Amino acid sequence: MRQIFFMFFIAFVLSLLLTPLARWLGVRLKAFDYPTDRKVHTRPIPRTGGLAIFLSMILANIIANIIYGDKVPLFLKHTQYVYLALGGIFIFAVGFFDDFKRLGPKVKFLCQIAAATIAFYAGVRIEFLFGINIQGVFFNVFSWAITVLWFLLIINAINLIDGLDGLAAGVTFIAMCVLSIVNAVEGHFVTMSKVVIMAGVLLGFLRYNFNPASIFMGDGGSYLLGYFVATFSIIDSAKSTLGLPILLPVVILGVPVFDTLIAPLRRFFSGKKLFLPDKLHIHHLLLRKGFTQKKVVLIIYSITVALCALALIMIFFRNNIATGVIVTLMALLALIGVNKLGYLEYVILDKILGWIRDITDASRNSTYSGTFLTLAGELGKTDSLKSLWAKACQVFEFMQIDAAELHIKKPAKLKSKSQPKQADVLSWEKSNAPRNKMMRLEIPLGGGNPYNAKLIIFKNLTENNIRPYTLRRVRQLRQNMETALERIIK
């Protein structure tokens, strides 16, 4: 136990001493993280903290090896450790270079795959999946693919959560403490020494990275941490006698892993590029709730500690019923949490349920019995203004709109017979309620086309509320009407 605390202390002190030097270097080389619309900080901050983390880890391992000998072997004294060190150096170099000269997402993605492949070649590989031996399947290609995906998940999980002062470093520090406990119980002193050193380095770095931060770890630091967390989790799973699952880091790093998995889905459902940066990550949403940066970080710390406690209970008690109850409880708490953040209503379930409703929900009125998608598709294919408006009125009734107007104007120089008159106003009304007491939504149509049109819809909110999927249908209606108008008005 004394050896563990000594290694932790050495790593902690080295990080305390080297982080200011890395900050000074970042200022001299102008390696700043500048404020943007997507960033939370308001002043340029050096992003060279990864260098301090990298050097502290190396020096702490060297000192521990000098004192304790082969109990804490250097990476250079074992073939597997040599390749793991090469992979770590490579991924750190990629991230650190990106901190100075920004790399494209495809380049960084390929470099992450390369680093994971080096670790796989070193023997750090996932060979069992859900109790099934996948070693040798398709000449180990399947094992390689699963291992690479695992590295990509953990590396990017830590990288994506590095958006607030001390968030990524603190969450990873908590994860390292849990992995240290697991390795201590298992008696894996070598792996435990590496994990303890990482924990000490991170705690020293937090002295300068916690709010208000004076230095960021940058991609160099987050890539390096993610690489070794993924590595040690696979090694621990292979050596464990406690039935330690490979998914342990998924539980421990539940917040960043969830954020990483949900981000591309969120962007897909909202029609954006899958890897386009945004300000809809969990910490951003908590900031929108009115919490300060420090409170958001402490909230996520608390969630991580709770997840770690549950993970330890699952490991040490190994009771199937208790594990099932804990997993169910975690799922329910996660569902409640993401619902509070607005993910369910506006991002995921609303989109999925809206699509299902569009496909299956037939109108309850007497004029149309099909689905919304069918009706909207028919509207977009109309070839005359009369048929367009007839279909549009069916859509209004389907969507429980109370009244609507279509205003179309054309430039005086256009005289085609297929065009409407100089000023056409088409009107439809279902409700007798005064329009000045309804919600009024004005939608411009035909931007960039040789006509000026707008659709105005009225909704009596005292009878039926607007649902999120209704607004999405309004956008679909606008697109189909514009398509039809481009064909009709030439």
Q: What is the pLDDT of residue 346?
A: 45
Q: What is the mean pLDDT of residues 149-178?
A: 89
Any domain includes 114:
yes
Q: Residue 57 belongs to what domain range?
A: 2-243
My answer on whether 83 and 212 are in the same domain is yes
Lowest mean pLDDT among 246-255, 278-287, 330-339: 330-339
Any domain includes 306:
no
Q: Which band of pLDDT confidence, cut at 50, 70 and 90, is reported for residue 224?
A: very high
Report how many domains make up the chain. 2
Q: DSSP assignment of 289-348, as one string? A: TT--HHHHHHHHHHHHHHHHHHHHHHHHH--HHHHHHHHHHHHHHHHHHHHHTTHHHHTS
pLDDT at 135 over 80: no
Any domain includes 137:
yes
Scan for tokens 């108008």, then name that residue.
Answer: 485
**CA-closest candidate to residue 308, choices 300, 119, 38:** 300
Beta-carbon contacts of residue 227 (< 8 Å; ≥ 6 apart): 87, 88, 91, 92, 115, 119, 151, 154, 155
Q: Of the candidates 219, 243, 267, which is a domain's last residue?
A: 243
Q: Of the candidates 216, 243, 270, which is a domain's last residue?
A: 243
Q: What share of the chain is helix, strand, coil (3-state, %, to 5)?
A: 65, 10, 30
Any domain includes 180:
yes
Amino acid at 329: L
487 or 439: whose pLDDT is higher? 439
H-only helix segments in 122-253? 141-160, 167-186, 189-209, 218-239, 248-252
Q: What is the pLDDT of residue 52?
A: 94
Beta-carbon contacts of residue 270 (< 8 Å; ≥ 6 apart): 347, 351
- Collapse the DSSP code of 45 into the 3-class scheme (helix H, G, I; strand E, B; otherwise coil) and give the result: strand
Any domain includes 266:
no
The Cα 180–Cα 75 span in angstroms is: 19
pLDDT at 93 over 90: yes
Q: What is the mean pLDDT of residues 274-284?
A: 70
Q: Of the candidates 243, 278, 299, which is a domain's last residue?
A: 243
Q: What is the mean pLDDT of residues 76-99?
A: 84
My answer on whether 226 and 371 are in the same domain is no
Any domain includes 272:
no
My answer on whether 199 and 69 are in the same domain is yes
Any domain includes 15:
yes
The Cα 300–Cα 172 span in angstroms is: 12
What CATH code is carried by the domain that includes residue 458?
3.30.450.80
Residue 454 per-residue DSSP state: E
Assigned token pair, 128: 């069992």
My answer on whether 81 and 227 are in the same domain is yes
Distances (CA, A) of 313 to 172, 307, 310, 366: 20, 10, 5, 59
Q: Which band of pLDDT confidence, cut at 50, 70 and 90, is reported for residue 198?
A: very high
Any domain includes 339:
no
Longest dimension (CA), the chain: 93
pLDDT at 363 over 80: no
